[in-house]
Chains A and B, each alone.
Chain A
Amino acid sequence: MKKVFSRPKSLKNAAFHYCPGCGHSIIHRLVAEVIDEMGLQENIIGVPPAGCAVLAYDYFDIDMGEAAHGRAAAVATGLKRVLPDRVIFTYQGDGDIAAIGTAETIHAASRGENVTTIFVNNGVYGMTGGQMAPTTILGQSTTTSPGGRKETRDGYPVKLSEMLAISDGTVYIERTAVSSPAHILKTKKAITKAFRYQVENKGFSLVEILSGCPTNWKMDPVESCKWINEVMTQHFPLGVIKDSGDKKDAR
């Protein structure tokens, strides 16, 4: 029998510190698999977030440079200015990208920065203990939206991916999930396309990935996947939000 599944080379041999069933672990592996398959390991620089994945550099065996909370898109812009022929990507959570980092993200996208963004959406601020995030859905209980998010008290969730699709600078926006093997394989395809568009110089691409946070959702991992599939996708529908990669010429 032949081995058909093993650990990607672009991941260091370190055990993840993430909680049991955390989507970050799955997404890290997918990104590493894509880096391996596309041969990017020597050519790629990643910018991790502030959040649970702040320690992403302990896992990815690639050059990585820390950014302050929310500023990854700006740091990525600076890297790309000096190294336009390297592949630059950011890996950010929902608070990092859609709360404190909103301006940097919208403007990097509007400038058509030729970078790739992996947006991990788990609807809470995980590392800090489960506070409300811009993508917390109405009715979802968090430590700063006790009793469930109420539009009158807490406002509405932010649909950043849809907002970014409006800009001419974005070439590809897709929302996927890691809540089932089928979704995971679709996520990997989306990540591959997002990196491919960068290599082809087509502009800003982003993959939003619905991901479980069992600890702060107060569910077990299997329930978390169910909640993503049945509830979260009602508010954050999966699918391609924008793909103009075939129309755009290389910039």
Chain B
Amino acid sequence: MAKVLMRGNHTVAEAAVRAGCRFYFGYPITPQNETPEYMADRLSKLEGASFTQAESEIAAINMVIGASMAGGRVMTTSSSPGISLKQEGISFLAALELPALIVNMSRGGPGLGNIAPAQSDYFQATRGGGHGDYRTIVLAPSSGQELADLTFDAFDLADKYRTPVLILGDGMLGQMMEPVEFRPDVQLKKLPPKDWTLTGAKGRPSRIIKSLILDPVQEEEHNWKLMRKYEKITKEETRWETFETDDARMIVVAFGTGARIAKGAIKRVREQGLKVGLVRPITLWPYPSRVIRDFSKKVKQFFVFEMNMGQMVEDVKLALEGNAEVHFYGRPGGIILTPLELARVISSRYYQKKLG
């Protein structure tokens, strides 16, 4: 199919619909308002689909829970403060083992913050955010095309593992217009049937979907069951990209829009002869810790760049277990560094460490 020029917020909606999403629940919040607007129009023209603007992000995530219980491919989108409101619901989705897609187009924070792009929801996305021992698969696209592709994957992953999936984007990804090619439409009828949904107990015993488990012995077993699932996901679904790492003496680690800026910076410093490479996690959970640890056998300088005050850097340090030095450069609050500005910081660190 042909490439189209599309704004990120529209891309995620169009990709979702082609991936079989027929139920959207959301609430206006900048910088993702284009997504509910697009969905309102797109779903109104589709048989068996529905768009609902809920009264709050809390209501929206709970509608997602209900629609997922009934077996639909369902999603909600929001931005940082709205995602905070959804945390109880996300904990419930994980506990109830319900598939769903949640998209966060992050903005400056904390509090009301601003509407500029930021990456300061990494902790919220990967360290639960909600209560209890659970994980959500977190996907971090760094381009419009990747946003489209990961949206398709998100619904498949959610259904395969019966777990919520979070796409962690930011305002820039949401607002930028880029050429995008969509995968072929998913045939809903060809999807594997779900044998656990609530549809009315016709011709079968009645079913309960609940997360209240008062007996600690049973609740512990449920937690172990979830952990075994997360171990399987870690083994099979971790994704990352490497760029110019073969001869690197310093490796930059960055995700999403930050990684895009970092690639530009690395191209510039390479022109000056600096041997710098990039590891770009695509799944923020499960995090590609093994990849980073393996690189530390040869590379002893890691440079983490994020648009926040230092969140993913902790996962890099955890992965390295002290085997390499970690530098951090972060800009919060919606500041978007240019590749040239980042290149200067990287080179200065490179020369400080006498790698040249």
Interface residues of A (CB under 8 A from B): 41-45, 47, 54-55, 57, 60-68, 71, 74-83, 86-87, 103-104, 106-107, 111
Query: Are B201 and A83 neighbours in the complex by a CB distance under 8 Å?
Result: no
Question: Is B212 close to A, CB under 8 A?
Answer: yes
**How far is A111 from B25 in the complex, measured between Cα atoms in Å?**
14
**How far is A54 from B211 in the complex, measured between Cα atoms in Å?**
11
- List B residues 59-117 near A (Cβ within 8 Å): 59-60, 62-72, 74, 88-89, 92, 96
Question: Is B203 close to A, CB under 8 A?
Answer: yes
Q: Mark B32-72, 1 if CB is under 8 A from A, else 0.
A: 00000000000000000010101110111011111111111
Query: Are A63 and B206 neighbours in the complex by a CB distance under 8 Å?
Result: yes
With a cutoff of 8 Å between Cβ atoms, the chain B residues found around residue A79 in the complex are: 66-67, 69-70, 198
Show 18 residue pairs from A and B whose CB-CB distance is below 8 angstroms, ordered by the A residue. Answer: A43-B200, A55-B212, A65-B65, A65-B69, A65-B198, A65-B210, A71-B58, A74-B60, A74-B62, A74-B65, A75-B65, A76-B66, A78-B69, A80-B66, A83-B70, A103-B58, A107-B54, A107-B59
Contacts A78-B67, A79-B69, A81-B72 given; does A66 touch B201 at CB 8 Å: no
Query: Are A103 and B201 neighbours in the complex by a CB distance under 8 Å?
Result: no
Query: Are A57 and B70 neighbours in the complex by a CB distance under 8 Å?
Result: no
Interface centre among A61, A76, A79, A103 (most CB of B within 10 A): A79
Q: Mark B191-215, 1 if CB is under 8 A from A, else 0.
A: 0000000111111001111111000
When C-beta atoms are compared, the residue in chain A nearest to B207 turns out to be A63
Question: Is B134 close to A, CB under 8 A?
Answer: no
When C-beta atoms are compared, the residue in chain B nearest to A64 turns out to be B208
Query: Are B208 and A78 neighbours in the complex by a CB distance under 8 Å?
Result: no
Query: Are A81 and B198 neighbours in the complex by a CB distance under 8 Å?
Result: no
- Of A57, A83, A103, the residue contacting B199 (CB under 8 A) is A83
Query: Are B70 and A82 neighbours in the complex by a CB distance under 8 Å?
Result: yes
- Of B58, B71, B199, B209, the residue contacting A66 (CB under 8 A) is B209
**How far is A103 from B85 in the complex, measured between Cα atoms in Å?**
14
**How far is A203 from B70 in the complex, measured between Cα atoms in Å?**
20
Question: Is B255 close to A, CB under 8 A?
Answer: no
**What's the minimum C-beta distance from A62 to chain B, rounded to whole angstroms?**
5
Q: Mark B10-37, 1 if CB is under 8 A from A, else 0.
A: 0000000000000101000000000000
**How far is A54 from B208 in the complex, measured between Cα atoms in Å?**
12
Task: Please tell me the size bucket of the interface on B.
Answer: 35 or more
- Of B65, B201, B209, B211, the residue contacting A78 (CB under 8 A) is B65
- Of B59, B70, B72, B207, the residue contacting A104 (CB under 8 A) is B59
With a cutoff of 8 Å between Cβ atoms, the chain B residues found around residue A64 in the complex are: 198, 206-210
When C-beta atoms are compared, the residue in chain B nearest to A54 turns out to be B212
When C-beta atoms are compared, the residue in chain B nearest to A45 turns out to be B198
With a cutoff of 8 Å between Cβ atoms, the chain A residues found around residue B206 in the complex are: 60-64
Contacts A65-B69, A74-B54, A81-B50 given; does A42 touch B203 at CB 8 Å: yes
With a cutoff of 8 Å between Cβ atoms, the chain B residues found around residue A43 in the complex are: 200, 202
**How far is A55 from B213 in the complex, measured between Cα atoms in Å?**
10
- Of A42, A77, A103, the residue contacting B66 (CB under 8 A) is A77
With a cutoff of 8 Å between Cβ atoms, the chain B residues found around residue A41 in the complex are: 201
**What's the minimum C-beta distance from B49 to chain A, rounded to whole angstroms?**
9
Known: A65-B209, A74-B66. 19 other contacts (CB 8 A): A61-B201, A63-B207, A66-B208, A66-B211, A67-B62, A68-B88, A71-B65, A74-B58, A77-B52, A77-B59, A78-B62, A78-B68, A78-B69, A79-B198, A81-B52, A82-B72, A82-B74, A86-B199, A103-B56
**What's the minimum C-beta distance from B139 to chain A, rounded to whole angstroms?**
23
**How far is A144 from B121 in the complex, measured between Cα atoms in Å?**
37
With a cutoff of 8 Å between Cβ atoms, the chain B residues found around residue A61 in the complex are: 201, 206
CB-CB nearest 7 A-B residue pairs: A78-B66, A74-B62, A82-B70, A78-B67, A75-B66, A78-B63, A71-B62
**How far is A66 from B23 in the complex, measured between Cα atoms in Å?**
20
Contacts A75-B62, A81-B63, A103-B55 given; does A63 touch B25 at CB 8 Å: no
Query: Are B74 and A78 neighbours in the complex by a CB distance under 8 Å?
Result: yes
Query: Are A65 and B201 neighbours in the complex by a CB distance under 8 Å?
Result: no
**How far is A55 from B62 in the complex, measured between Cα atoms in Å?**
19
When C-beta atoms are compared, the residue in chain A nearest to B58 turns out to be A71
Query: Are A62 and B67 neighbours in the complex by a CB distance under 8 Å?
Result: no
**How far is A234 from B356 in the complex, measured between Cα atoms in Å?**
86
When C-beta atoms are compared, the residue in chain B nearest to A111 turns out to be B52
Query: Are A104 and B201 neighbours in the complex by a CB distance under 8 Å?
Result: no
**What's the minimum C-beta distance from B199 to chain A, rounded to whole angstroms?**
6
**How far is A54 from B68 in the complex, measured between Cα atoms in Å?**
20
Query: Are B201 and A62 neighbours in the complex by a CB distance under 8 Å?
Result: yes
**What's the minimum C-beta distance from A27 to chain B, rounded to whole angstroms?**
19
- Of B23, B71, B89, B200, the residue contacting A44 (CB under 8 A) is B200
**How far is A78 from B61 in the complex, measured between Cα atoms in Å?**
9
With a cutoff of 8 Å between Cβ atoms, the chain A residues found around residue B23 in the complex are: 78, 81-82
**How far is A75 from B68 in the complex, measured between Cα atoms in Å?**
9
With a cutoff of 8 Å between Cβ atoms, the chain B residues found around residue A86 in the complex are: 199-200
Interface centre among B54, B70, B203 (most CB of A within 10 A): B70
With a cutoff of 8 Å between Cβ atoms, the chain B residues found around residue A60 in the complex are: 206
**How far is A75 from B61 in the complex, measured between Cα atoms in Å?**
9
With a cutoff of 8 Å between Cβ atoms, the chain A residues found around residue B59 in the complex are: 71, 74, 77, 103-104, 107
Contacts A65-B66, A103-B55, A103-B59 given; does A82 touch B92 at CB 8 Å: no
